[in-house]
């Protein structure tokens, strides 16, 4: 009798781990970007952050800081579920070419999403496309996984 984890293609799994690690690194960079924006704009939200400089005031609504925070939140809302469904998808023994390219496309699109949302703001539909590619990929993997385990 074949066990569930015997079904995993090593190349697919390696691609999943590699591209997932890239996305984790990208998400970690978002915290740094938020901090950099706060210092650049002097938009601090905690009293201890301005205690050494009485000229500064707390600032909760800087548009540039909020833009980075929204992009980070979008990552949390989309990348974390992707990690789960992509792992489940691996258990379906998908075609290696398709799976590896899905993982690549998702990572590249999420990086592009961050770039067009926070670094070099580009008018729509750039951000929408960069969001839609990983969303559609996650939906596809969800559909294939549900059908496989039905």
Residue boundaries of the structural domains of the chain: 4-149
- pLDDT at residue 1 greater than cutoff 60: no
Answer yes or no: pTM beyond 0.85. Answer: yes
Least confident segment among 8-12, 24-28, 42-46:
42-46
Q: Averaged over 15-26, what is the pLDDT?
A: 98
**Using one digit for the tens of pLDDT, what is the confidence trace for 33-49?**
998 998 888 878 887 87
> Would you state the CATH architecture of domain 4-149?
Up-down Bundle (1.20)
Query: Under the phi-then-psi rule, with left for phi > 0, alpha for psi from -120 to 50, and beta for the rest, what region is 46?
Result: beta
pLDDT at 91: 95
pLDDT tier at 2, thresholds 50, 70, 90 = low
Handedness of CA 1, 96, 127, 139 (dihedral sign): negative
């Amino acid at each position: 009798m074949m066990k569930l984890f015997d079904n995993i293609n090593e190349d697919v799994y390696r691609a999943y781990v590699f591209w997932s690690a890239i996305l984790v690194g990208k998400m970690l960079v978002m915290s740094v970007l938020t901090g950099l924006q706060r210092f650049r704009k002097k938009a601090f939200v905690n009293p201890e952050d301005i205690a050494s400089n009485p000229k500064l005031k707390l600032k909760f609504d800087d548009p540039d800081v909020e833009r980075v925070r929204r992009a980070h939140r979008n990552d949390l809302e989309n990348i974390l579920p992707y990690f789960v469904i992509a792992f489940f998808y691996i258990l379906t023994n998908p075609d290696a070419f398709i799976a590896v390219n899905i993982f690549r496309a998702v990572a590249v699109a999420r990086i592009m999403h961050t770039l067009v949302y926070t670094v070099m703001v580009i008018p729509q539909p750039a951000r929408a496309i960069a969001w839609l590619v990983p969303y559609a990929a996650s939906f596809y993997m969800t559909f294939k996984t549900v059908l496989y385990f039905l």
